């Protein structure tokens, strides 16, 4: 496994997070509350029908803020090679490349961040292992209790779901449902991303519950026209956002 080659690479300069207004100076009571991002679609690539690279280019072209590479049960070399390709596609674009599960591969390719599940490396350990500034750390949550525990760890965002039944995991987590989703996003002091079984048909229901960000794994990955699928989902999100 070519870790030495990866770690010997010259680090890619990372511009860090976008500049943000000094809201703490204007509103002192917000000092301890992180900024809630509203970006709409968070793309997760899991064996996409159109191919990983095609979907990654589509995400960049459509201005998607977050793009996650999730390759379960694949050899490390295979994941590493694809991660390098996705990094090259997203480099110097507004699209943040997030690596699923593996902080070592994320660091090796200088991804923009890593997303961790409940059974992965603990968030504080991941931050210690990868202490570079400007990196994003996400954490999956499947209940209000897990969400509350996650907030205390100060991730940059949390995934919340599955909202609806979904076959994207070999051992699926219990369905959260719309009301539990609403309870979490309403209380969350950090950016939250609704996930699990979301598509064009039920996305309005998710947005009506207060979610402002979402992932639609099958709706995008199952399409042979990923750019069109992303655009349609973002059109629904934009239309709903304008009505709020």
- The answer as to whether 17 is a domain residue is no
- The answer as to whether 4 is a domain residue is no
Q: Give the range of the structural domain holding residue 140, as residue numbers without chain letter.
A: 38-243
- The answer as to whether 118 is a domain residue is yes
- The answer as to whether 20 is a domain residue is no
Domain count, the chain: 1
**Among 13-17, 73-77, 225-229, where is mean pLDDT lowest?**
13-17
CA–CA separation, 61 and 95 (whole Å): 9
Supply 198's token pair: 């979301």
Reply yes or no on whether the pLDDT at 13 is more than 50.
Answer: no
CA–CA separation, 72 and 172 (whole Å): 14
- The answer as to whether 94 is a domain residue is yes
pLDDT of residue 170: 64
pLDDT confidence bin for 158, thresholds 50/70/90: very high
Domain of 76, CATH number, reads: 3.20.20.70
pLDDT of residue 172: 73
pLDDT of residue 244: 72
- The answer as to whether 234 is a domain residue is yes
Average pLDDT for the chain: 88
Question: Torsions phi, psi of 195, nearest 5?
Answer: -150, 155
pLDDT confidence bin for 169, thresholds 50/70/90: low
List, as one string, the DSSP characters of 90-107: HTTSSPEEEEES-HHHHH
User: Rounded to two decimals, what is the model's pTM?
Assistant: 0.85
pLDDT of residue 19: 36
pLDDT of residue 34: 54
- The answer as to whether 215 is a domain residue is yes
How many residues are given for the chain? 244
Average pLDDT for 104-119? 98
Taking alpha carbons only, the member of 125, 155, 124 closest to residue 140 is 155
CA 202 to chain centre: 20
pLDDT digits (tens, 9 = 90+) for 37-77: 999 999 999 999 999 999 999 999 999 999 999 999 999 99
pLDDT of residue 106: 98
- The answer as to whether 33 is a domain residue is no
């Amino acid at each position: 496994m070519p870790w030495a080659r990866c770690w010997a690479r010259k680090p890619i300069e990372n511009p860090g997070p976008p500049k943000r207004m000094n809201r703490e100076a204007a509103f002192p009571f917000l000092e301890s509350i992180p900024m809630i991002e509203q970006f709409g679609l968070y793309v997760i690539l899991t064996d996409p029908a159109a191919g990983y690279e095609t979907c990654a280019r589509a995400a960049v072209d459509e201005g998607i803020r977050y793009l996650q590479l999730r390759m379960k049960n694949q050899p490390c070399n295979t994941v590493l090679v694809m991660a390098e390709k996705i990094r090259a596609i997203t480099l110097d674009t507004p699209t943040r490349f997030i690596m699923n599960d593996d902080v070592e591969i994320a660091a090796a390719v200088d991804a923009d961040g890593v997303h961790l599940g409940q059974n992965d490396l603990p968030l504080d350990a991941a931050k210690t292992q990868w202490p570079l500034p400007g990196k994003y750390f996400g954490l999956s949550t499947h209940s209000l209790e897990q969400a509350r525990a996650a907030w205390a760890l100060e991730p940059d965002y949390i995934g919340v779901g599955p909202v609806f039944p979904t076959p994207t995991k070999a051992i699926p987590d219990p369905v959260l449902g719309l009301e539990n989703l609403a309870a979490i996003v309403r209380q969350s002091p950090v950016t939250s991303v609704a996930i699990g079984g979301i598509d064009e048909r039920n996305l309005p229901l998710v947005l009506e519950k207060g979610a402002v960000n979402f992932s639609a794994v099958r709706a995008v990955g199952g399409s042979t026209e990923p750019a069109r699928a992303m655009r349609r989902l973002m059109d629904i999100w934009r239309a709903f956002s304008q009505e709020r």
